[in-house]
Structure 1
């Protein structure tokens, strides 16, 4: 089994391809817990990516956001 590779997936209100930000395992849980509130109320949130960079996201412009595991094969994103 591959090591988990969590990532924040953002779909912007303006459309286009989703933005994908690789996260560390520790930061992915914290981000996932905050997503419902950030999407509901908007606001800017900064997070650290797996490669050590800091990204600030203005959630006013985000239509959908979720944390997914990039190491999964065959399925990606929201599925029923």
Structure 2
């Protein structure tokens, strides 16, 4: 009889927003950029709004309106 350790074929982990703290990074680095460039931006709102564009963009991919697209390209498209 095989032990469970030898029967595992794959280990998957959700790291997007679970392991990676994207929100705090955007707020912190946006704040630094804002100071350097004299920008007045609500970076918390910006981060939330940017993330809010993810599901609609993925919906376009799922419906076939966009081809399979890397997440970096979707994030850039959401910014545009």
Q: TM-score, normalised by structure 2?
A: 0.30
Bigger relative contact order (CA 8 A; separation at least 6): 1
Q: Which has the higher strand share?
A: 1
Pick the structure with more helix per residue: 2
Q: Which structure has the larger Rg? A: 2
TM-score of the two chains, using structure 1 as the length reference: 0.30
